[in-house]
Amino acid sequence: MKKITLFTILTLQLFGSSLIAQTATAPASGDGTVGNPYQIATLDNLFWLTQNDTEWDKAFIQIADIDASSTTSWDGGQGFTPIGVELAPFGGGGPEFTGSYNGSGHTINNLFMDRNNPAMFAHSNSASIENLGLTNVNISGPSTTGCLALYFNEGTINNCYSTGVVNSGAFSTGNLARTGGLVAFLGVNSVLSRCYSTAAVMGGRQVGGLIGASDNTSITSNCYTTGSVTCSGSEIGGINGTFFGTMTNCYSTGTITGTTFVGGLTGYNGGTVTNSFWDTQTSGNPTSSGGTGKTTAEMQDIATFTNAAWDFANETTNGTNDYWSMPCGGNNYPKLTWQNFNLGLSATGTDTRTECNSFTWIDGSNYTASNNSATFNIVGGAANGCDSLVTLDLTIINSATGTDTRTECNSYTWIDGNNYTASNNSATFNIVGGAANGCDSLVTLDLTIINSATGTDTRTECNSYTWIDGNNYTASNNSATFNIVGGASNGCDSLVTLDLTINSVSDLTTSVSGVTISANNTGATYQWLDCDNGYAIIPGETNQSYTSSTNGNYAVELTENGCADTSACVAITTVGILENSFGDDLIIYPNPTSGNFSIVLGASFETSVVSITDISGKLIDCKTIIQSQILNLSIKAPAGIYFVSVLAGGKKAVVKLVKQ
């Protein structure tokens, strides 16, 4: 039986823990086709890609920035496992990455590798890698060492960059070990375009800030490096250590240190270098096997590059692809336009304004008319730190003017706060922003003041009068006033003064003598009335006195001072009394009568004797009534004239009674 020692168990545990330090998680979206690429969103998705070589011919797109800090503990400390099998320099013998990887502008940060032939993509053939940034990398290996790609054949790398450290262990030996800040070996028919590296690169031989070595069919264009490049052996360059192929529009500024074949741009040059430069001052190298050396001042002058046909933003002479931009503010080297940080030439813009009457612009001029040609340069005014050339597009519109025509009563408080009591056509007031076009509105007042009307309501009324003020006046008044709002013909108020004369009938009393009633007022006109007949006029009775022929209630209407009034009704009850010793207390009613009648004696008598005779003296009826003050009697005889005799208490009365 095989013995298992404690050491073996611990070793297995440690080895096992390194194997499970990462998790392979398939992308949640995509099927790997060009139209629907796998979506790489996490480090676990990226690890899944390293572990599934059957997917290396597929399309991938990175949809988020990825933190790869944990790769320091992967694979027993070797870190990230390359995509594409580690093969001989020109392929053969295992699966390579032949698909496409689009970083879509995202980054992979803190990627760690310490292994043989390290790079994110070890061997690629006919692949496409673009729009990806590897930041703060820490990549090292014993020999050939790359960052983004190790051996890259028949493919394209566009818009990619690296920062951090790329270190080949061959640095200490000076042995052949292609080492590049982005690509170790740019192979057959491969294109590297619009890429850069700021990584510090160290190696033994064939070491470049961007590419360690390249094939004579390779193309490198529109790239730059700024990191230091150090080589213990030979063939070291700012862009490429051992260069074959074609290089166009590239530059390098980093410090270059080596032994032989040391160049500011290329170390060993077996290809064609066109319109490419290195900084002779910052690199510490006055020579290069390829390219043109420039001072720092020249390297920071855009004319150096535009004169060499570099295609910059904001110029069209060298093309319209706008690969390059020059950061503003001075002391800057060109940058790739896709980097999008404070890049570009001077900005231009238009200051479009609509102002009222006049406008003082940034150039200090005061414009009173529209202008679309004035310009002003703001030094360092652009967002990218460059100058900003501004063109004025000014429209001048005028303030409005108008007249506020008003007709008011007595006084008027206008918008200026003043109270006007007289007509005015000269006052003005400026309403800020009051015009329809947003400008001020200057208003002139045209005010006509009209006065409220006054008048007197002269009236002569009888007894009392209720006026428009609601008061009832019973005496003459010439001081009361009332304001009728809007009552004047001009629309103003009307102030009315009351001039009231109250007249009345001076005396409504009457006097009675027998059956004659007299008005005591001697200065009036008279009309006697029958109270019992609805105050009917008694025809012809217009004298001061009235003698009744029948008993009843009578009044007189008196007209005096234009007023008419009626006296109180007076009862006449003694018509037909021929003899009377009972005095005024004797009343007989009704007379005439239809049969029944009553006699009021004024007092109750123990015995009252009543006799009725006709006009011939014939006794019709005779009655004795005991203890009565009112004698209720009747005549059964036909209509005619009768005489009623009353004897009571030694008193006697004879009354003429008419029966109808």
Q: Give residue 87's pLDDT.
A: 52
Question: Looking at the domain assignment, is residue 548 inside a domain?
Answer: yes
Is 96 found in the same domain as 43? yes
Question: Looking at the domain assignment, is residue 4 inside a domain?
Answer: no
> What is the C-alpha end-to-end distance of the chain, expressed in Å?
171
Question: Looking at the domain assignment, is residue 563 inside a domain?
Answer: yes
Question: Looking at the domain assignment, is residue 582 inside a domain?
Answer: yes
Is 352 found in the same domain as 393? yes
What is the C-alpha to C-alpha distance for residues 170 and 1, in angstroms, rounded to an integer?
Answer: 46
Is 202 found in the same domain as 153? yes
Q: Where are the alpha helices (DSSP H) in 33-96?
A: 43-51
Question: Looking at the domain assignment, is residue 139 inside a domain?
Answer: yes
Is 353 found in the same domain as 340? no
Q: Give residue 330's pLDDT.
A: 67
Q: Give residue 2's pLDDT.
A: 34
Q: Give residue 143's pLDDT.
A: 87
Peptide bond connecting 327 to the previous residue in cis, omega within 30 degrees of 0: no
Which residue, 397, 417, 434, sits at the end of a domain?
Answer: 397
Residue type, 232: S
Structural domain containing residue 634: 577-659
Is 119 found in the same domain as 63? yes
What phi and psi values does residue 570 have, to the nearest 5 degrees? Answer: -115, 130
Q: Give residue 591's pLDDT.
A: 85
Is 441 found in the same domain as 330? no
Question: Looking at the domain assignment, is residue 1 inside a domain?
Answer: no
β-pairing, 400-409 vs 121-125, is unpaired
Is 612 found in the same domain as 545? no
Query: How many domains in the chain?
Result: 7
Count of helices and strands (H, E) across the chain: 4, 61
Q: Give residue 553's pLDDT.
A: 93
Is 21 found in the same domain as 132? yes
Which residue, 397, 412, 428, sits at the end of a domain?
Answer: 397
Is 612 found in the same domain as 550? no
Is 117 found in the same domain as 24? yes
* 420 three-state secondary structure: strand
Residues of the chain short of pLDDT 70, as ranges, are: 1-21, 86-93, 170-176, 329-330, 341-346, 383-385
Is 592 found in the same domain as 558? no
Query: Going by C-beta distance under 8 Å and a sequence separation of 6 or more, which residues neighbour residue 377?
Result: 346, 387, 388, 389, 390
Expressed in percent and rounded to 5, the helix, strand and coil fractions of the chain are 10, 45, 45
> Number of C-alpha atoms within 13 angstroms, CB side, residue 314?
15
Length of the chain: 660
Question: Looking at the domain assignment, is residue 257 inside a domain?
Answer: yes
What is the C-alpha to C-alpha distance for residues 269 and 200, in angstroms, rounded to an integer?
Answer: 22
Is 124 found in the same domain as 163? yes
